[in-house]
Amino acid sequence: MQTRHDMNDDLRVGDRLVPAGIDSEPVITHEGPVIRVERREFELEGRRIRKDIVRHPGAVTIIPIEADGNILMIRVGRLPVGRMLLEFCAGKLEPGERPDLAAGRELEEEVGRRAGRIHPIGAYYTSPGFCDERMHAFVATGLEPVPRRLEPGEEIEVVPMSPASIDAAILDGSLDDGKSITAWHLFRGHRSGVAAWQE
């Protein structure tokens, strides 16, 4: 599925196609196993600007539909916010990994399901104010059980939910994970009802 980003259909600000500072020299201030942080300094309208940018390899999130129409969500421990969050399963891209293959891998590892079909529904930036992470969203159908393969330190519980209960959880705030809300919006916009995905 192509998006405006994929088609290079950029939005202009005045005469600029790209943001100020794009050609500034990056200085790496942190490099870890998942992210890299770089500092950019540049002049804009007579002022010295400094920005810290998080570089991320990209990620996938998957909406798995069981044969009975339930959606398999997860409840996962998120240390940065100090809570267990309700989410769709997700994970980062490995170097050179295709997003659809990463989606199948993450589904098996976290949810314990192998997908007969993986359908792309869109891609989006999760926090473009400071990070370049691009999330690729998929719907998985034709599921069959497989053993889960959780990584050390992962706290994940599989939570089956009906589409109506997911809608309600978003509205009452009990589902407040941004990537999952965006993926659900794309899911709802593509087809009418869960049954349409299982045809």
- 172 CB neighbour count, 10 Å cutoff: 9
Respond yes or no: is residue 157 known to be catalytic: no
Catalytic annotation, pick one of 31, 43, 144, 155: 155
Q: Which amino acid is at 121?
A: I
Q: Residue with structure tokens 């407040």?
A: 176
Token code pair at residue 124: 């989006």
Strand 59-64 to strand 134-141: parallel, antiparallel, or no bridges (unpaired)?
Answer: parallel
Q: Residue with structure tokens 């349409």?
A: 196
CA separation, residue 135 to residues 82, 148, 180 (Å)? 23, 23, 10
DSSP summary character for residue 93: P
Q: What CA–CA distance (Å, rounded) separates 182 from 59?
A: 14
Residues marked as catalytic? 155
